[in-house]
Amino acid sequence: MKIVAMGASSSKASINRHLADFAANQITGAKVNLLDLNDFEMPIFSVDREADTGIPQLAQDFRNALAESDGIIISFAEHNGAYSAAFKNIMDWISRIDSDVWCSKPMFLMATSPGPRGGATVLDIALNKFKWMNKSPLIGFSLPSFNDNLKDNQIKDAVLKKQFEEQLQAFVAAVKEA
């Protein structure tokens, strides 16, 4: 099973990249490709730029990584209640390659933050938006208070741990069925 995982943040110390990596590595036997958005930094998308210079190779490289996977895990950083600009720009560019932006792959969409809402707003945005961009199952999970709840590579709160494990199992089942 090939899993692409990413934190939808350009922060070098991204807690969301950490959560995505954690989740992907809970899947027994999975080959994990952990993407760093900083490796896909491109000019800000515009139709004028696309007309002048075409779609950047980095956008194609990113899309190829998605296409070569069996499933996608994204943990969203919440910037002013929405996606990070780095993630949104990559999504804008790859949406110009093919209308099937996420390659019809099952997706485990997550969010976390240091605060008690755990990026719930951006996760809701992603789940509501991506259902129109992907025909495959979307599974969601929010981890509140990251610094308190993910320690020593374990989710400490028993209720959150159970929720996470159930959602991860649903994702793995969707990948196996795809």
> pLDDT tens digits for 143-160?
999 999 999 999 999 999
Q: What is the pLDDT of residue 10?
A: 96
Percent of the chain clearing pLDDT 90 (strictly above): 97
Instruction: Quote the pTM value.
Output: 0.97
Distance of alpha carbon 12 from alpha carbon 8, whole angstroms: 11
Query: By 3-state DSSP, what share of the chain in percent is helix, strand and coil, each rounded to 5?
Result: 45, 20, 35
Check residue 149 and give its pLDDT: 97
Q: Which domains does the chain have, with CATH numbers?
A: 2-177 (3.40.50.360)
70 falls in which pLDDT band (50, 70, 90)?
very high
Per-residue tokens: 84: 């990070």
Q: What is the pLDDT of residues 19-38, one digit of tens each?
A: 999 999 999 999 999 999 99
Interatomic CA distance for residues 69 and 117, integer angstroms? 30
Query: What would the pLDDT profile of 102-141 be if each residue is shown by its tens digit?
Result: 999 999 999 999 999 999 999 999 999 999 999 899 999 9
Phi, psi of 98, rounded to the nearest 5 degrees? -160, 140
